Every structure is written in C-alpha cells, then in structure tokens.
Amino acid sequence: AWTKEEDDRLIQHIQIHGEGCWRSLPRAAGILRCGKSCRLRWINYLRPDLKRGHFCEDEDDLILKLHALLGNKWSLIAGRLPGRTDN
C-alpha cells in the first residue's frame, strides 16, 4: 500500500516538474517504486481532476451514446469521459 509520504512526494514532484518521464520519476522524487506504479497511482488516485462517485446526467447520456457507437468497449468509453479513469 502507498503511504501518505509517498503520495505527497509524488504529488509534489508532479506539481513542480509536470507529468512526463515516468521511468526516471521514482528516483528523482525519492520514491522506492517503479515508474509504472507511480503513473498508475497518479492517474487512478491522485490527479486533481479525477472524478469519483456517481455519474452526473450529462455523463450518463454520453455513456449511452458512446455505448451505442462503440459497444462494450468500456475502456475506450471511459477514455472519452473527462476526469474518469478506465478502472
């Protein structure tokens, strides 16, 4: 499990340097994790624009339209919902 200190280091590093080279980020930020873990932690849990919880009415409508267009390709659909993850 990620600690609060690790989360804080990751957040601080990205606020200063931005998103980018995930492979070198752990060493630069002083985190003992691999770059992929840092990227997934940021994308799925820490980024400030991340939306959690129930979908709003506009999102429901968009999901229905995208499902009609794309079928059961939920990862693609999720990628078209701003602030949502594909998880």
**pLDDT band, very low/low/confident/very high, at 83 (cuts 50, 70, 90):** confident
Question: Looking at the predicted structure, is the pLDDT value of residue 87 above 80?
Answer: no
Question: Looking at the predicted structure, is the pLDDT value of residue 46 above 80?
Answer: yes
Q: Domain residues for 11?
A: 4-46
Report the CATH number that the domain containing residue 39 is assigned in CATH. Answer: 1.10.10
Q: What is the mean pLDDT of residues 3-13?
A: 98
72 lies in some domain: yes
Distance CA 30, CA 38 (A): 11
For residue 63, what pLDDT is reported?
A: 96
Do 42 and 60 share a structural domain?
A: no
In the chain, how many domains are there? Answer: 2
For residue 78, what pLDDT is reported?
A: 86
**pLDDT band, very low/low/confident/very high, at 59 (cuts 50, 70, 90):** very high
Distance CA 76, CA 65 (A): 13
pTM of the model: 0.74
